[in-house]
């Protein structure tokens, strides 16, 4: 005799979701470094903000450390995708270490912009979140005191800057597109002469994932965002879904973390994944849902991504 019929659940799967080109490249860098140099290969900070990814690389022989002084001189070290202050590669060079920089090329682009503005004598306003590794890395490209962090629209009114006529702004690549637009408008209103990037610094993957989650959030009773609590782009996806009118939007690291009581009465569930969350975690959640529901899946495609980034030259086969 069969048990009671499972409730129906329609899943809206956001596309694009999950890994972006910068994350893909960073993980590949660690894997290729392990092949080339053998284990262990050290990695300064989490290569990307995802526990599952970090643990799978540890299983292959990567050792994650907080700072360079925890790395022996004779082992290679990889710098994370978020970027590092200039002092870090300088110290690695001083110690004659083999180091591989896995900074996302789109973060490096922001670093170059900031350097160019500094060279032109401009004071830089960095839109971003205090303490995030990407913000620390960007501020660390330039001398102390030459970059001021702006976190909110409210911050703009009280900013103290050396000269209002000679300013430029850059932004962290993983912010909310809409929030950042509000901060940029406030900056332009207060400092009409401020210069900014020709194209938005927020990366294509962040922009695309937010656009996709907006579409599914408008149709869903609840949204699950797969990602890590320290992943800025994943946290922004939750916020964006809520703003779009889906208050039952939550971050989960993987299927085991789902609070099933929160999904009580949900007929349409949106699912997406932050740029550092692997697709295997999405598959895991779908498998878990199928245990409990009669699931139909609709992939909602709002953009197609074909961006790839080359690996650093140091990893090329000799």
The pLDDT tens digits for 112-134 are 999 999 999 999 999 999 999 99
Coil, strand, or helix at residue 129? coil
Domains of the chain, start order: 8-19+204-301 (3.40.1010.20), 21-104 (3.40.50.11270), 106-190 (3.40.1010.20)
Q: Is 134 annotated in the active site? A: yes
| Mean per-residue pLDDT, 80-93 | 97
Alpha-carbon distances, residue 311 vs 24, 27, 39, 90, 283 (angstroms): 10, 10, 19, 21, 28
Q: What are phi and psi of 262, to 5 degrees?
A: -65, -20
Report the pLDDT value the prediction gives residue 192, as an integer from 0 to 100: 95
| Mean per-residue pLDDT, 71-92 | 97
Using pLDDT thresholds of 50, 70 and 90, give the confidence band for residue 164. Answer: confident
Q: What are phi and psi of 252, to 5 degrees?
A: -130, 140
From the list 46, 91, 113, 134, the catalytic residue is 134
Q: Is the pLDDT of residue 1 over 60?
A: no
- Is 227:277 a contact under the CB 8 Å cutoff? yes
Q: Is the pLDDT of residue 110 over 80?
A: yes
Q: What angle do CA 288, 289, 293 make, to 5 degrees?
A: 135
Report the pLDDT value the prediction gives residue 200, as an integer from 0 to 100: 77
Q: What percent of the chain has pLDDT over 70?
A: 98
Q: Which stretch of DSSP H or E encloses residue 133?
A: helix 133-139
Burial class (CB in 10 A: 0-12, 13-18, 19+), 282: buried
Q: Find all residues with CB under 8 Å of 282, minimum gap 6, and list them.
A: 13, 17, 18, 226, 271, 273
Report the pLDDT value the prediction gives residue 165, as an integer from 0 to 100: 84
DSSP conformational letter for 163: -
Q: Which stretch of DSSP H or E encloses residue 127?
A: strand 123-127
Can you say how many angstroms the Cα of residue 109 is from the centroid of all Cα atoms in its chain? 15
Q: Is the pLDDT of residue 143 over 90?
A: yes
| Mean per-residue pLDDT, 191-199 | 90
The pLDDT tens digits for 229-281 are 999 999 999 999 999 999 999 999 999 999 999 999 999 999 999 999 999 99
Strand partners, 10: 268, 296
Strand partners, 60: none
Report the pLDDT value the prediction gives residue 318, as an integer from 0 to 100: 60
> What does the alpha-carbon distance between residue 290 and residue 30 come to, in Å, rounded to a whole number?
34
Q: What percent of the chain has pLDDT over 90?
A: 94
> What does the alpha-carbon distance between residue 200 and residue 198 come to, in Å, rounded to a whole number?
7
The pLDDT tens digits for 199-227 are 778 899 999 999 999 999 999 999 999 99
Nearest to 172 by CA among 124, 110, 88, 79: 110
């Amino acid at each position: 005799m069969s048990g009671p019929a499972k409730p129906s659940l329609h899943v809206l799967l956001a596309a694009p979701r999950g890994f972006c080109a910068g994350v893909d490249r960073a993980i590949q860098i660690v894997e290729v470094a392990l092949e080339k140099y053998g284990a262990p290969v050290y990695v300064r900070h989490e290569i990307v903000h995802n526990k599952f990814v970090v643990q799978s690389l540890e299983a292959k022989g990567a050792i994650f450390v907080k700072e360079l002084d925890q790395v022996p001189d004779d082992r290679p070290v990889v710098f994370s995708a978020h970027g590092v202050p200039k002092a870090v590669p300088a110290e690695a060079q001083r110690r004659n270490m083999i180091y591989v920089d896995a900074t996302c090329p789109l973060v490096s682009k922001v670093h170059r912009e900031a350097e160019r503005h500094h060279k032109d004598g401009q004071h830089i306003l960095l839109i971003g979140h205090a303490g995030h590794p990407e913000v620390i890395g960007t501020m660390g490209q330039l001398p102390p005191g030459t970059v001021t962090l702006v976190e909110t629209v409210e911050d703009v009114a009280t900013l103290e800057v050396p000269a209002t006529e000679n300013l430029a702004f850059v932004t962290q690549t993983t912010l909310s597109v809409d929030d950042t637009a509000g901060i940029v408008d406030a900056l332009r209103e207060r400092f009409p002469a401020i210069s900014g990037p020709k194209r938005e610094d927020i990366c294509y993957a962040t922009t695309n994932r937010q656009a996709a989650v907006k579409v599914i959030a408008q149709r869903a009773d609840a949204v699950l965002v797969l990602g890590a609590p320290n992943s800025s782009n994943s946290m922004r996806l939750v916020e964006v879904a809520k703003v779009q009118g889906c208050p039952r939007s939550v971050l989960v690291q993987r299927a085991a973390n789902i609070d099933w009581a929160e999904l009580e009465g949900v007929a349409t569930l949106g699912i997406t994944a932050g740029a550092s969350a692997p697709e295997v975690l999405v598959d895991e959640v779908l498998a878990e849902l199928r245990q409990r529901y009669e699931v139909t899946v609709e992939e909602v495609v709002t953009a197609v991504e074909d961006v790839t980034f080359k690996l650093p030259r140091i990893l090329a086969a000799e």
